[in-house]
């Protein structure tokens, strides 16, 4: 089978590998669609993303859908043929975080496509049967792959209280920012503003999400009750923080620099709440239902589709094309 293997910085090779053997509690998937994430680009350009470092040849890809074509001895054969969206992390089940069901903080989570365990930029992959969630017909193969970024957004909006009469700012119009904005609106926010310097990316938002560049946003002088930082940029974070009303909340979703100067007086005097949001837990069933009901439109965020042979171009497209929002690889 063919696999896109990352050997080092900027060194991605299409190689022939043997198809993985399926374990007793696993399913064998024929990969259908793999989404390209900002973290994949970090691995490709810098050899690391956050604390994860590329140590040897590795296959990226943690946002994916596939069709079950084989099952382990402990999995019912009736699952063969299912189209599935895959949760890429498998928690250990026994650490402190796992015992209180906060498994996104699991110390020993096995996460595919994050430099240590091979991901889905290959024709076949095995995953635990319990991580493969069947998707109903209205959910496209590409949308099924995007259940993972949708899950990031579902978890993020759960980290802050959003209710009627509340005004929300989302900083960063990448796929996660768009999804957070849509979900904040679904939760009944009085207004949702999406702010990004890139007008092409903003253009994917539609009514009633309002859009602005950072300059336009600053000129408006608005104050919000909840802000979501989804850009990973220091400017985005500062803008979000200084747009908060008193006793408001900031949720940090984007992966930015490791350290940053902050306006401490604004936090202390404004009695602000600052929280992070890391991955997700128990989100797949809900996220799949949201897409099946057309509560969110994942397909509309996909701007580029590549074959596996062009995986490097797929990784780079947000660098090479200003209008690129979400790239996927279709196998
Ligand atoms: Zn991702
Ligand atoms: Zn654990």
191 and 122 in one domain? no
Ligand 1 center to residue 245 CA distance, Å? 31
How far away, in angstroms, is 105 Cα from ligand 2 center?
A: 7
Residue 161 contacts residue 184 (beta carbons within 8 Å): no
Whether residue 136 sits in one domain with residue 105: yes
**Residues 9 and 119 occupy one common structural domain:** yes
Q: How far apart are CA 251 and CA 273, in angstroms?
A: 8
DSSP string, 292-319: HTTSS-SGGGEEEEE-GGGHHHHHHHHH
User: Which ligand is nearest to the Cα of residue 88, counting in written order?
Assistant: 1
Residue 163 confidence (pLDDT): 85
From CA 63, how far away is CA 147, in angstroms rounded?
A: 8
In a shared domain, residues 142 and 165: no
Assign 319 a pLDDT band (cuts: 50, 70, 90): confident
Confidence band for 117, pLDDT divided at 50, 70 and 90: very high
Distance (angstroms) between ligand 1 centre and the Cα of 35 equals 8
Which range marks the domain in which residue 103 is found?
2-151+280-330
Q: How far is the CA of 268 from the centre of ligand 2 (A)?
A: 34
Q: Compute the average pLDDT of residues 72-78.
A: 98
Same structural domain, 113 and 10: yes
Token digits of residue 70: 């084989």
CATH number of the CATH domain containing 252: 3.40.50.720
Q: Which ligand is nearest to the CA of 151?
A: 1
Q: In angstroms, rounded to a whole number, what is the distance separating the alpha carbons of residues 58 and 45?
A: 14
Q: Residue holding tokens 């207004």?
A: 191
- Structure confidence at residue 257 as a pLDDT band (50, 70, 90): confident
**Ligand 2 center–CA 104 separation, angstroms:** 8
Asked if residue 99 and residue 39 are part of one domain, the reply reads: yes
> Looking at the predicted structure, is the pLDDT value of residue 172 above 90?
yes
Q: Which ligand is nearest to the CA of 147?
A: 1
Q: How many domains does the chain have?
A: 2
Mean pLDDT over each residue of the chain, to the nearest integer = 95
Which-ligand-closest: CA of 98?
Answer: 2
Which ligand has the shortest distance to the CA of 39?
1
Question: If you compute the radius of gyration of the chain from its CA atoms, what whole number of angstroms results?
Answer: 20
**Residues 6 or more apart in contact with residue 63 via CB below 8 angstroms:** 34, 35, 36, 37, 88, 120, 145, 146, 148, 149
For residues 253 and 314, state if they share a domain: no
Q: Report the separation in Å between the CA atom of 281 and the middle of ligand 2, taken as the mean of its atom positions.
A: 12
**Per-range mean pLDDT, top range of 23-27, 161-165, 254-258:** 23-27
CATH of the domain at 68: 3.90.180.10
Segment 238-254 mean pLDDT: 95
Q: How far is the CA of 63 from the centre of ligand 1 (A)?
A: 6
Q: Are residues 138 and 9 in the same domain?
A: yes
Q: Residue 223: is it exposed, middle or buried by C-beta count within 10 angstroms (0-12/13-18/19+)?
A: middle
Q: Which ligand is nearest to the CA of 93?
A: 2
User: Which two tokens mark 40?
Assistant: 């994949």
Query: How many whole angstroms from 71 Cα to the centroid of ligand 2?
Result: 25
Ligand approaching nearest to the C-alpha of 113? 1
- The CA 270 to ligand 1 mean position distance, Å, reads 33
Same domain as 125, residue 19: yes
pLDDT higher than threshold 90 for residue 99: yes
């Amino acid at each position: 089978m063919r696999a896109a293997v990352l050997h080092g910085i900027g060194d991605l090779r299409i190689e022939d590998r043997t198809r993985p053997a399926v374990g007793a509690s696993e399913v064998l998937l024929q990969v259908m669609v793999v989404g390209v994430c900002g973290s994949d680009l970090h691995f490709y350009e810098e050899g690391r993303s956050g604390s994860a470092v590329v140590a040897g040849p590795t296959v990226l890809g943690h946002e994916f859908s596939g069709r079950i074509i084989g099952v382990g001895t402990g999995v019912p054969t009736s699952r063969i043929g299912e189209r599935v969206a895959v949760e890429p992390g498998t928690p250990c089940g026994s650490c402190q975080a796992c015992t209180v069901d906060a498994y996104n903080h699991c110390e020993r989570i096995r996460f595919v496509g994050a430099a240590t365990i091979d991901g889905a930029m290959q024709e076949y992959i095995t995953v635990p049967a319990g991580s493969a969630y069947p998707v109903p017909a209205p959910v496209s193969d590409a949308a099924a792959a995007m259940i993972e970024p949708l899950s990031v957004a579902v978890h993020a909006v759960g980290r802050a209280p959003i209710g009627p009469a509340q005004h929300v700012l989302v900083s960063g119009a990448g796929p996660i920012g768009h999804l957070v904005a849509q979900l904040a609106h679904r939760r009944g926010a009085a207004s949702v503003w999406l702010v990004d310097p890139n007008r092409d990316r903003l253009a994917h938002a539609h009514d009633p999400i309002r859009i602005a560049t950072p300059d336009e946003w600053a000129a408006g002088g608005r104050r919000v009750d909840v802000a979501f930082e989804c850009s990973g940029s220091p400017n985005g974070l500062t803008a979000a923080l200084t747009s908060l009303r008193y006793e408001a909340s900031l949720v940090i979703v984007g992966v930015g620099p490791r350290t940053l100067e902050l306006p401490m007086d604004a936090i202390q005097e404004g009695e602000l709440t600052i929280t992070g949001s890391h991955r997700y837990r128990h989100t797949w069933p809900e996220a799949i239902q949201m897409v099946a009901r057309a509560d969110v439109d994942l397909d509309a965020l996909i701007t580029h589709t590549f074959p596996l042979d062009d995986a490097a171009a797929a990784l780079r497209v947000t660098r090479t094309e200003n209008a690129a929002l979400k790239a996927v690889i279709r196998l």
